[in-house]
Amino acid sequence: MNPFRALSTTDRTTLGRLRERGLADRAALHDVLDAGLICHLGVVIDGTPVVLPTGYGRIEETLYLHGSSANRSLAAADGAEVCVTVTLLDGLVCARSVFHNSMNYRSAVIYGTARLVTGDAERRAAVQAITEHLIPGRWDNSRQPSRKEMSATSVLALPLDEASVKARAGWPKDDDEDYELGHWAGLLPITMTVGPAESDPQLKEGISVPAHITELQTQAGGAGTGGS
């Protein structure tokens, strides 16, 4: 699928406010999902709305979420209409007026019918994708999941057919008359960084920090605070 294909527009994905912040191509959706680490799954259980934070991974145009097989939120989501959100905070925007203080951010909202993954091959591929999304390189540097561990894990699949992406970047946008005020205005950039690895006290002697872990220590969550 062409990553630059426009996102489908539906009643649920049409932005009602600040439409100029909407990003319409599918590549923008992929960028937000690939940069985030935690999503929030919204589902209705017995008439009660529930929001569940969880890890996720993406394989092409399918988003996979996982959790304990004992989690009733995941079970209730099977065959149900759900909403998944991912938000990245890039900075705090300090304006001259309280009304125009804001945030620089990137966000994605996905709607659709969730599907509980039951096939062994797809379940394993999904768990691998989630693992690699969280800690790249970890799948090949860890013990593989046992049959019992896979049985204790539920995996949901959600197609990326109906989604919207919204972002803000740049400087404060004050009212014209407020630019002459004596209040400081500007940006406070926010990035996610990975600190130095701390070895488990019970780690077997002679095991050094692997390359895929040290590589993560130099990576940040991405830029998005400057601009127009």
Q: Which pLDDT band, with edges at 50, 70 and 90, does 228 fall under? A: very low
Instruction: Yes or no: say if 86 and 121 are a contact pair by the CB < 8 Å rule.
Output: no
What proportion of the chain, given as a percentage, has pLDDT over 90?
71
pLDDT at 19 over 70: no
Burial of 113 (0-12, 13-18, 19+ CB in 10 A): middle
- Using one digit for the tens of pLDDT, what is the confidence trace for 104-143? 999 999 999 999 999 999 999 999 999 999 999 999 999 9
Taking alpha carbons only, the member of 33, 31, 87, 102 closest to residue 64 is 33
Number of domain units in the chain: 1
Predicted confidence band of residue 10 (pLDDT cuts 50, 70, 90)? confident
Report if residue 2 sits inside a domain: no
Check whether 219 has a pLDDT greater than 70: no
Do residues 49 and 25 lie in contact, with contact meaning Cβ atoms separated by under 8 Å? no
For the ranges 93-102, 140-149, 201-210, 219-228, which has the lowest average pLDDT? 219-228
- Asked if 36 contacts 109 with a C-beta cutoff of 8 angstroms, the reply is no
Host domain of residue 103: 19-216
Q: How many CB atoms lie within 10 A of CB 156?
A: 26
Establish if 112 belongs to a structural domain.
yes
Percent of the chain residues topping a pLDDT of 70: 88
Quick check: is 6 in a domain?
no
Mean pLDDT in residue range 23-30: 84
Inside any domain, residue 225: no
Asked if residue 30 belongs to a domain, the reply is: yes
Tell me the pTM: 0.85
**Which CATH number does the domain housing residue 198 bear?**
2.30.110.10
pLDDT tens digit sequence for 159-188: 999 999 999 999 999 999 999 999 999 999
pLDDT at 220 over 60: no
Structural contact between residues 94 and 172, judged by C-beta atoms closer than 8 angstroms: yes
17 or 78: which leads in pLDDT: 78
174 assigned to some structural domain: yes
